Amino acid sequence: MDRVFTIADRQFSQKKTLIIAELGTSHGADLRRAKDMACAAAEAGADCIKFQIVYADEILHPNTGVVTLPGGNIRLYDRFRQLEAPPDFYAEMKAYVEKQGLLFLCTPFGLRSAALLRSLNPDLVKIASPELNYTGLLREIGAWRLPTLLSSGVSRLGDIEEALSALENGDNGPSFRENICLLHCVTAYPAPAADYNLRVLRNLSGIFGVLTGVSDHSLDPYLVPALAVSQGAVAVEKHFCLSREDPGLDDPIALPPELFAGMVRAVRRASEAGPEETVRTFSRERGAETVEKVLGTGIKELAPAERDNYLRTNRSIHALRDIKAGEILANTDFAVLRTEKILRPGLAPSWEKALPGRSARNFIPAGEGIRFEDI
């Protein structure tokens, strides 16, 4: 029997895949632009429009480092500050998206953004790959008991198991794994299609008892999304833009309307044709060797393109200020943040409640991860 992902009164499955247009922050907090993007995505065939609620200070530390953009170098923290939008923006976009008959989806990155999202009374929620190990956030969202999309980029099997456990224990209620869709993902921008190992979708579903889908960061509009459907995907997420020349962080890897519409057609054809015919068609058109590389071994492991990101794009505990040796740690002295490129990782987020009241063994510079040897 075809397994179903139910959201409000809508049902999605391998035969009717949920197609998510990820606008993220590419709208630049401009309501007119965001509405134009949502309208274009709807016309291209999206079922769902996705946003991100960004507060820079709950994602990373100001000392994280710089990124190079067309206008020059800028602190990554400051770039995230530029992506912040007022609460009314999300409320208005939710009303607009739902008026178009589409699902509104949003990713919170911490407890503050989660509280804002909860106040909007959403029908579903998405957790991004870097927050897969953010135990406190997972427990908060798990308590909502909403249909949940959980991205699993830059993760191992044990990380996924711990994340699902945290979601289930959110309010000590009954299991709701039938309401969870695990989105297989490769955390690289762009991600090589050959790294996607799509046979892992059925294995992840069998191991964890959840529905599966794919969050695709590859540049090809059709290959990964359609072949993911052949492997049981009930959801496909792809970044959307009006033009790849636009200034959004993810626009260079996003699909403009005509390519997104082509992806939608490819996904729908795969749903209708069935797994065997879809694989045969792509093998004929793209070459059997290419298709076999994209399908992969089915063994869950870090993809080559994301191995260097493990423990860096993920969350860990970081000092918010310079902490001198001998000082007693308080809740306000640290936060669960992404490490990124230049800082050292700290303890896993599951340790955050164990730190207050402990003394620092060493000097801990602001921004650096707090390790076992530091306390």
The predicted-structure confidence for 309-342, as pLDDT tens digits, reads as follows 999 999 999 999 999 999 999 999 999 999 998 9
The segment(s) of the chain belonging to CATH 3.20.20.70 are 5-302
Q: How far apart (Å, rounded) are the C-alpha atoms in residues 100 and 114? A: 24
Model confidence at 147: pLDDT above 80:
yes
Helix (H) or strand (E) holding 69: strand 66-69
pLDDT > 90: percent of the chain: 92
Predicted TM-score (pTM) of this structure: 0.95
Kindly provide the b/e burial profile for residues 198-225, where b requires at least 16 CB atoms within 10 angstroms of the residue's own CB. Answer: bbbbebbbeebebbbbbbbbbbbbbbbb
The mean predicted confidence, pLDDT, of the chain is 95
Residue in 302, 278, 261 with CA at minimum distance from that of residue 160: 302
Q: How far apart (Å, rounded) are the C-alpha atoms in residues 87 and 101? A: 22
Class of domain 311-374: alpha beta
Task: Indicate the CATH number of 5-302 among 3.40.50.300, 3.30.70.360, 3.40.640.10, 3.20.20.70.
Answer: 3.20.20.70
The segment(s) of the chain belonging to CATH 3.90.1210.10 are 311-374
What is the predicted pLDDT for the residue at 341? 87
Q: How confident is the model at residue 245 (pLDDT cuts 50, 70, 90)?
A: confident
pLDDT one-digit tens code per residue, 108-131: 999 999 999 999 999 999 999 999
Quote the tokens at residue 194: 């050959």
Quote the tokens at residue 68: 């190079």
- For residue 324, give every residue at least 6 positions away whose Cβ sits within 8 Å of its Cβ, in sequence order, or none: 360, 363
What is the predicted pLDDT for the residue at 70? 65
